[in-house]
Amino acid sequence: MTADVVIVHYGPADVTARAVAAALRTGWPVTVVDNDGGLDPEDDPRLKVLRPGANLGFACAVNLGARQGASPWILMLNPDTEPDPGVLERLVAIAGGRDDTAVLAPTLVYRDGSPQIGGGRFAGWVREVGRMSGIGRRLRAQRAQIASEFRSPPGGVGATIDRQWVSGAVMLVRRSAFEQVGGFDERFFLYYEDEDLCRRLRERGWSVAVAPEVRVKHALMGTQADESAREPAAAYERSRAVYHQIHSGPLLRRIVGWDSARRERALR
């Protein structure tokens, strides 16, 4: 079973080049959407590079890249990920045995091998109250759960763990499900597009899961090394407000909109 790999380039070219090389090892078609310019990847017949001439944002660029292929699975791969040989193929093999699965992700780990938080429960009152108040109980509980699953993965070989949403850093999506919901919502320039996609897929009855035995190193924001810290932070706040405009009730929409605008102004 094959997948179409989509990589969105933005940031250091050498970081993206390493991700492209890892993706090409699978033998699958690879599409790179060059949101930054200046990328000069190796010449390979399986590789297609799209140069839109502007930074389209992550959601729009992935949608563009996904349209270039026809494989039953689409694998989104961040440039700052470092998949070992055979890992991506294993992820597809596990997903292929689950007819109800729309999204399957690996366990993301830091370079030292410790687990990252790569998804969780949908944003709502608990997350937002914690963010605005500075109380991190929910985050600490989530870290503890991830660490426990990491040490002792439930189930046997090929087992998966259900999640409400998973990170788009490495996300395997069933093409038919992705197209059913219209792909990523392009109102999200960066951040929250993965959570929104998973939410819409689950509303259609699809499952979203993590394969704990499949582990991929993620440098975490390595593609933003050339950006100021303010730019991704501002993008996060704008996407946060968009997410709640779509999915939350009027009171939470208003509160988050106010808080996001306040935080974005402070970044100027």
Does the predicted TM-score (pTM) go above 0.95? no
Same domain (yes/no): 240, 115 = no
Per-residue model confidence (pLDDT) at position 223: 43
Same domain (yes/no): 124, 167 = yes
Per-residue model confidence (pLDDT) at position 138: 62
| CB-based contact 75:3 (threshold 8 Å) | yes
Same domain (yes/no): 140, 20 = yes
Same domain (yes/no): 218, 233 = no
- Helical pair 125-133 and 137-151, crossing angle rounded to 10 deg: 120
Same domain (yes/no): 177, 245 = no
Task: Tell me how many domains the chain contains.
Answer: 2
Same domain (yes/no): 184, 268 = no
- DSSP 8-class letter at 115: B
pLDDT beneath 70, residues of the chain: 136-141, 221-228
Per-residue model confidence (pLDDT) at position 225: 42
Domain residues for the domain of 119 are 3-222
Same domain (yes/no): 139, 212 = yes
Same domain (yes/no): 198, 237 = no
Same domain (yes/no): 210, 259 = no
The domain that contains 29 carries what CATH number?
3.90.550.10
**Radius of gyration of the chain measured on its C-alpha atoms:** 18
